[in-house]
Homo-oligomer: A and B are copies of this chain.
Amino acid sequence: MTDFQPVSGFVLPRFAGIATFMRLPHVPLDDPRLSEVQIGLIGAPWDGGTTNRPGPRHGPRQLRDASTMIRAQHGISGIRPFEAARCADLGDVAPNPADVQDSLRRMTQFYARVRAAGIIPLTAGGDHLCTLPILRALSHDRPLGMIHFDSHTDLFHSYFGGQMYTHGTPFRRAVEEGLLDPHRVCMIGIRGTAYDSEDRDFARAEGIRVIPIEEFHRRSVEDVMAEARAIAGDGETYVSYDIDFVDPAFAPGTGTPEVGGPTSWQALECARGLSGVRIVGADLVEVSPPFDPSGGTAFLGASLMFEMLCAIVAGQAQENP
C-alpha cells in the first residue's frame, strides 16, 4: 500500500511539491492504478450555478494547496486514513464554463466512471450545483439518504425566470429525480434572510428534516448529530458540506455567506458525528478563493475534508471489520 501514501513532510517540506489533495499521488481516470483506489479525492472546479458572487471554480486548486498542511493522523481518534484505505487524488472533472447542461453531463459521466471503479468520491467544489450530477451518478438505481450541512436548503424550484439549474436548486431536482429519499435527508444549520418559505414548505411536504440554526444553537452538536444519524439510518448515505454552514468569521471565502453560524469547533464536531454513517460519497463545496484574503477558509475546508475522510474510513471499518 506504500504507493498510496502522502509525501512525508520529512522528505519534502509541506510547502514544497506539486499540490495534490493531502499530498496523495495523482491517479487520473485512465491510470492503471485506478482499480486499486478505494477513496478518490476529486476537484469540481465549477461555478456555473452561482447566482451572486462567483469564484468557487477556483476552489479545488486552493483546497489542494491548503490540504498540504494536513498530516497523516487524526488528532483525537488516532485514525490514519491513508493506511486504512488506498486514497488518491483523481484530478479535476472538466466542466464546460460556458454551458451548464454540458457541464452536468460531463460531471455525471466522470462520477459514473468513479463509481464503476468501486471508488468512494470525496469532492472539493465548486458551487453546490456540483452535487446534482454526483448524485445522478451515485444513486442511479436507488435513492440515497443525505446529511447536508449548509445555511441554505438549496431546495428552491427555480430562479430568475425559470432557471432550474442553479446552486439554489440541486436538492429540489434530486428529490424530483428520485436520487434522494427525502425521509432519509437531514439539513442542518439553515439560516439567513429568505425570499419566502417555498423551500421550507417543500421540505415539510416531502418529509425532509430541516434543523434550523436557532435549533442547532439550542441543542448540543452531539444531540443534533445523533438525530441526523438516525434519519440517515443504515442505508447508503451521501454527505454534502457547504462551507457557508460555518460562520463567515471562520469561513469568509464563500459567495453567499450568512452570519450567525457555527464555530470551527462545532463544524468539526459535526463532521466527526458522521462516524457510523454508511457514506457512499461526500463533498465540501462553495469555497471561493477570491473572497478569502488570508486563505483560512480553504484550510478549514481541507480540515473538514480530512474529517469526512476519517468518517468514511470509520464507516468502512465497521462494515468490513
Q: What is the interface of chain A, defined by CB distance below 8 A to chain B?
A: 9-20, 26, 43, 45, 47, 49-55, 57-58, 60-61, 64-65, 69-76, 78, 89, 91-92, 94-100, 102, 159-161, 163, 165-166, 190-197, 212-214, 217, 247-250, 252-253, 256-257, 259-261, 263-265, 267-268, 290-296, 299-300, 303, 306
Q: How far apart are A46's CB and chain B's nearest CB, in angstroms?
A: 8
When distances are taken between beta carbons in the complex, the residues of chain B under 8 Å from A259 are 250, 264-265, 267-268, 299-300, 303
A64: chain B residues at CB < 8 Å are 18-19
B299/A97 in contact, CB under 8 A: no
Contacts of A217 in B (CB 8 A): 265
| A65, A97, A217, A303 interface centre (most CB from chain B within 10 Å) | A97
Report the minimum CB–CB distance from A216 to chain B (whole Å): 10
Q: Which residues of B contact A58 (CB under 8 A)?
A: 15, 53
Tell me the nearest residue of chain B to A268, going by C-beta. B260
Chain A facing B: main interface SS:
loop
Across the interface, A13 reaches (CB within 8 A) one of B51, B55, B194, B268, namely B51
Contact A75 B194 (CB under 8 A): yes
Q: Which residues of B contact A57 (CB under 8 A)?
A: 13, 15-16, 54
Task: Name the residue among A13, A70, A291 with the largest chain B CB count within 10 angstroms.
Answer: A13
Decide: B247 and A263 in contact? CB cutoff 8 A. Answer: yes
A212–B75 alpha-carbon span in the complex (Å): 9
Please determine whether A256 and B197 come into contact, CB atoms closer than 8 angstroms: no
A26 to B: closest C-beta gap in Å: 6
Are B294 and A292 in touch, CB under 8 angstroms?
yes
Sample 19 A-B pairs with CB under 8 A, ordered by A number: A10-B160, A13-B45, A13-B97, A14-B52, A16-B57, A18-B18, A19-B64, A50-B97, A52-B69, A61-B65, A71-B192, A72-B195, A98-B165, A193-B306, A213-B265, A249-B264, A253-B294, A260-B265, A290-B291
Contact A94 B12 (CB under 8 A): yes
Closest residue of chain B to A44, judged by CB?
Answer: B16
Nearest residue in B to A164 (C-beta to C-beta)? B98
CB neighbours of A257 from chain B (8 A): 296, 299
| Inter-subunit contact B61/A19 (CB<8 Å) | yes
Residues of B within 8 A of A14 (CB): 51-52
Beyond A16-B43, A72-B196, A260-B303, 16 extra complex contacts between A and B, CB < 8 Å = A9-B51, A10-B195, A15-B57, A53-B58, A69-B256, A73-B195, A75-B212, A98-B160, A249-B250, A249-B263, A249-B296, A257-B299, A259-B264, A260-B265, A290-B291, A291-B295
